[in-house]
Amino acid sequence: MLTDQLYALIGEDAAEAIALGSAVLAGVLLWVLAGRLRVSPASGAAVLALYSAALLVIDLQSGPGVDGTGLLLLVAAATLSVGGGRVRNGAALVLLVLAVGAIPVAAVGLLVLLGGMALTGGIVHRLPKALRVAAAIAAIVCAAAVAILLARPDEPAALPAFVPAVLTLWALLVVGILWRRLPWLRAVCAAVLGLTACLWIPGPDADATLVVAAAGALLTAIAAEDTTAVLARRAFVAVAAAAVVGSTVLLTPTVAGQGPALLRPPANVPAAAVAVPVRPVAVAIPALGVTGPLEDLVADPATRELSAPNDPARAGWYAAGVVPGDQGPAVIGGHVDSRRGPGVFFRLRTLYKGDLIEVTRSDGRTVRFSVLAVALFPKDAFPTQAVYGPTPGPELRLVTCGGTFDRSVRSYADNVVVDAALV
């Protein structure tokens, strides 16, 4: 995605700022869009309040945070397109293309929208009805195909079921209200329903959440404006403003995601026979500017694959293996990147012979290792014995993913392995 490439280029700190800024700016643009659709200021405040509340819920439930870059582009395109004009429509089209590059699941909603507009005569109205129906069906089939291509059934859902359940109920309620009252909005409602379905598909689920939350907030304001304008009161404006400020202050998006398993430990490596009184607590690699705590990593008993750390910004230690500084090879693994940007070992392959790695242990010792070699191995030819086999002295292995990224299986083809010996 465009955001992944951007994050890899500018670094994690700048990416966090972009994530926070884009989420907030998308909310501001939603308010502007509500104004261009001629809803009252109070309903505009409702858009911001509902969007901010949904954003906060998503962020608190998901842990790693949310990125509004793609949504910002979508809302900017929608704002430009209101009122028409060749220049505005051309700029809106460019923004839509960028938005689909940033969040591919947006293509699902756009295709359903085009299909609905063809069916209702919003576009290609000069064609016979039979052709318009055929075009609408083709667009919806393409939308389903995109959703299937984006699906990653082997991965767990990016969010707990609570979040898509709430967003789905919200979308169904608002669409149910608007479907009969405002027929001209049916194509938009259909697009929102298409994106809502993506909330339940591992892969596009995380990207669809923010778009559905924003669309739900805007449609809710339109529904309130069209009915009795119950929400259009000064007291509500004050509450909405407070909700916006509070949600924005509490919202702290970060760059994160899930990455592939790192390596496959050998089946013949025994677990520690007795409890280890000492464990590593932190690692530092001065040449890479990496420093931070260590998680405990375990191997899946079925696949024997070592799971990657839960937090892509942290490295992890293979807890069934050797403690760094003790006799034998200790293994530390980390993400190379994630769905939201670079991981802790993003630049691991750039280490040179002689670079230092420092590991702090729970007994207060800091053990230092010097890099001996950096190598790239195909995953199907991982050097298990070389990484885990006995060594004449204390050694350290750093492992992450590398090589070419295969989007069809959402995995890298190789592993980067760094060998280091105790100084």
Contact criterion met (CB below 8 Å) for 266 and 388: yes
Distance, CA of 341 to CA of 44 (rounded, Å): 33
pTM over cut 0.85: no
Six-digit token string for 43: 């309903």
Q: Regarding beta strands 411-422 and 280-285, do their DSSP bridges make them parallel or antiparallel, or are they unpaired?
A: unpaired
What are residue 306's DSSP bridge partners?
263, 299
Instruction: Give pLDDT, residue 107.
Output: 92
Six-digit token string for 401: 């993913």
Residue 331 gets which letter from DSSP? Answer: E
Buried b (16+ CB within 10 A) or exposed e, 337-346: bbbbbbbbbb
Q: Is 419 helix (H, G, I), strand (E, B) or coil?
A: strand
> What's the count of helices (H) and strands (E) in the chain, helices before strands?
12, 10
Which residues neighbour 130 within 8 Å (Cβ) at sequence distance 6 or greater?
A: none
Buried b (16+ CB within 10 A) or exposed e, 123-136: beeeeeeeebeebb
Distance, CA of 152 to CA of 165 (rounded, Å): 20
Instruction: Please list the ranges in the chain whose pLDDT falls under 50.
Output: 1-4, 63-64, 229-232, 252-261, 272-274, 276
Instruction: Give pLDDT, residue 266.
Output: 56
Instruction: Give pLDDT, residue 16.
Output: 65
Instruction: Give pLDDT, residue 243.
Output: 57
Instruction: Give pLDDT, residue 326.
Output: 92
Contact criterion met (CB below 8 Å) for 358 and 235: no
Q: What is the dihedral of CA 6, 209, 156, 193, to 10 degrees?
A: -130
Which residues neighbour 18 within 8 Å (Cβ) at sequence distance 6 or greater?
A: 6, 7, 10, 67, 69
Instruction: Give pLDDT, residue 214.
Output: 92
